[in-house]
Structure 1
């Protein structure tokens, strides 16, 4: 870990997670992967017979693992903070970067987006990404394609923080505001929370 933005409490949590993982009787073998949040980290040979954790560089496909867990912890923190921003309280529902998402053909460059999550099934994360400015094409299956959640994260890294929201929720994003809705309407943002502060900064930056 080299990023000073990672809180010490998150580092302590990771160490405790690994200790409890091993204490449960699970053996860590070189070349195997384990899931932390939505990320998959790979166990590799370290120095002097030790093991090390490596993570995807979020730049390459196929996945290139590097000697770091910075992104893993930052993504986990951001995803948890998004979920904790909402009222009433909900629990995170972490997908795997190996799972797929359905995306609008304009997803790489669209500035107005809808992220709606259905119930995950098998290889699908349940996420459907729509360009809300393409109103005519939003109902046209030919305007959508399937990609990996990892590829989506590489192309639109600012969306990763929403990936742990549970099914039946929808995130609406435009240039100045993020709104999260459930089956019964918009969810409240807790004042001073992560999403609340992001909205405030985006609005202030636009004025």
Structure 2
């Protein structure tokens, strides 16, 4: 079991803003510092955060909850439960942010983060299929642009679902969700291949893609 460590911002005296607390299993080197820096920079620019407010970070959403001492505690979604159940901390948010950025780097593209509340089209057999493919069209409003299927020929029978619901059932998709429109991902027989335009990278020759099934990278 991980030992949680709290890191706190220093906003109270200079900005008269409630301090923000981020709980992480490994202290600042694990990622609390970058998350706190995001909030501190926003406050310096005039943003006022309040209890009950949600903030998007990467594709994830963080919830701010008031503590008994007047601070704002950071909570993140727990996967596997729909609707969202919140748990204290932001370690999962940080891991997924770094992995999604790293996957985009493999293709030399900037990440295009959706929100876990946005919708996608998913085929009926997707959740139970060993192999799958996912491709992204241009996002529009609440539509992330993502389509999830089991075969290239499968079409016309998909349904709309939130990215959070789909990722709760198939967490293997999470590392690829920040790839931009016109990207595609194929998982077949344990091998991953991602492409964007004429660029293509596969797990047979890429160490990061080979490691992605490890749950500690995304869980």
Give the TM interval when normalised to the shorter protein.
0.7 to 0.9
Aligned partner of 1:34 among 52, 55, 65:
55
CA contact (8 A) 2:114 2:178 kept: yes
Native 8 Å contact 1:169 1:181 kept in 2: yes
Q: Name 1:168's counterpart in structure 2.
A: 182
| TM-score normalised by length of structure 2 | 0.79
Superposition deviation, residue 11 in structure 1: 2.4
The 8 Å contact of residues 131 and 189 in structure 2, kept in 1 or not, is answered as yes
TM-score, scaled to structure 1: 0.84
Residues of 1 paired with 2:70 and 2:50: CA distance? 12
Q: Any unmatched runs of 5+ in structure 2?
A: 1-22, 215-219
- Counterpart in the other structure of 1:110: 129
- CA drift at 1:7: 7.5
Residues in 1 aligned to 2:198 and 2:49: alpha-carbon distance in whole angstroms: 44
1 or 2 for the larger relative contact order (CA 8 Å, sep ≥6)?
1
Q: Within 1, Cα distance between the matches of 2:25 and 2:146? A: 29
**1:42 Cα deviation from its structure 2 partner:** 0.9
- In terms of fraction of residues, the more helix-rich structure is 1
C-alpha distance 35-79 of structure 1, shift in aligned 2 (>3 A):
same
Runs of 4 or more consecutive aligned structure 1 residues displaced over 4 Å after TM superposition: none
Equivalent residue, structure 2, for 1:94: 113
The number of residue pairs the alignment matches comes to 192
For residue 165 of structure 1, report the CA deviation from its aligned partner.
Answer: 0.6
1:120 aligns with one of 134, 139, 148: 139
Deviation per CA, 1:36-73, whole angstroms, max 9, x where unpaired?
01011111101311111111111322211121212111
What RMSD over aligned residues (CA atoms) do the two structures have, in Å?
2.4
Q: Where do 5+ consecutive residues of structure 1 fail to align?
A: 202-207
